[in-house]
Chain A
Amino acid sequence: DAGITQSPRHKVTETGTPVTLRCHQTENHRYMYWYRQDPGHGLRLIHYSYGVKDTDKGEVSDGYSVSRSKTEDFLLTLESATSSQTSVYFCAISDGVSNQPQHFGDGTRLSIL
């Protein structure tokens, strides 16, 4: 199994509070991604990183920011959580080779009340 750890695994918080999710990898892969999974939508890309301090937006980036200060860590921050951000969040990593899959962490279930 790819060495990807997401923390926390579950979180319940209130609207308007900041939330940070962490993804840690031990594979030394260059590329890291944050997706969210919602019923009827599959997984959708929020942000991705192509190196330390190199990040860019995905298709559903509004309300989210990311940071990558080390190869192994990729943080996703909700500056002021809203109920629409209740979702399951997955981190993924890849080595960038096109025929190789992205490997996913176990997910974080986030509920915003």
Chain B
Amino acid sequence: AQKITQTQPGMFVQEKEAVTLDCTYDTSDPSYGLFWYKQPSSGEMIFLIYQGSYDQQNATEGRYSLNFQKARKSANLVISASQLGDSAMYFCAMRELLKGGATNKLIFGTGTLLAVQP
């Protein structure tokens, strides 16, 4: 079965510094996709970035980038120049094909709570 592991329950970072949030995954499928979501204290789930297993380059979206190391099965999220508004829970997720191939579900990690300090 596929699994996502986030080993950092909580992290602190100083404003304007970069921070890396860890995510490791386990799958036997050669084709997979990894997503990062942000959940601020208001509760909504906000999609940040996607990395496909066959993508040649690490994904980037503004201040977010993915450090994708396929051999290590890791997909760490890097946030550059942290802002106070980055304080939130961050979830790593992997898509898993549902039976019949109708669609995918997301397998989530347990999340990392990031606090950005001024």
Contacts and interface: CB of A to CB of B under 8 A. Distances in A.
A40 B6 CA distance: 11
Interface in B78-118: 91, 93, 95, 98-100, 102-106, 108-111
A45 B105 contact: yes
B110 to A, nearest CB: 5
A46 to B, nearest CB: 10
Interface residues on A, range: 20 to 34
Nearest to B110: A42
Contact of A99 (B37, B52, B102, B109): B52
Contact of B110 (A40, A101, A102, A105): A40
A40 to B, nearest CB: 6
Given A101-B50, A104-B45, A107-B43, A41 B110 contact: yes
Nearest to A103: B47
Contacts of B68: none
Nearest to A2: B47
Contact of A33 (B105, B110, B111): B105
A56 to B, nearest CB: 7
Contacts of B93: 42-43
User: Closest 9 interchain pairs by CB?
Assistant: A42-B108, A104-B45, A101-B47, A50-B102, A43-B108, A45-B105, A31-B103, A106-B44, A42-B110
